[in-house]
Amino acid sequence: MDAKMIEGVGEQLVALVKHQLGAKAALPHPFPVDQQLSDLGVTSLKMVNLMVAVELEFDIAIPQSDITPQNFHSVAAIKALVVGTLSKRKSV
């Protein structure tokens, strides 16, 4: 994947997180991609919804083994997971 596509993944993920948090959420600007999502107000239910939204948005199936707290603790972590998953799919 080229740098522009990877950056686009990050932007899409930020939009998904903002959607899960709702329009009334007070979020820092610029969005803190390395900050723990739970610190930004993402509850466990919102996290499940976010995982589903990520799979739909990027047309991927996240393997059960990759659904870990480490892979979903921040936008940066989710971005790495998505980019890795997309890269594997394109190389097959």
For the whole model, what pTM was predicted? 0.89
Looking at domain 3-91, its CATH architecture is: Orthogonal Bundle (1.10)
57-62 contact pairs (CB < 8 A, 24+): 57/12, 57/16, 58/9, 58/12, 58/82, 58/85, 58/86, 60/85, 60/86, 60/89
Q: How far apart are CA 36 and CA 33, in angstroms?
A: 8
Q: What pLDDT does 91 receive?
A: 60
pLDDT in tens, 17-64: 999 999 888 889 999 999 999 999 999 999 999 999 999 999 999 989
Domain residue spans of the chain? 3-91
Place of tokens 């199936």: 61
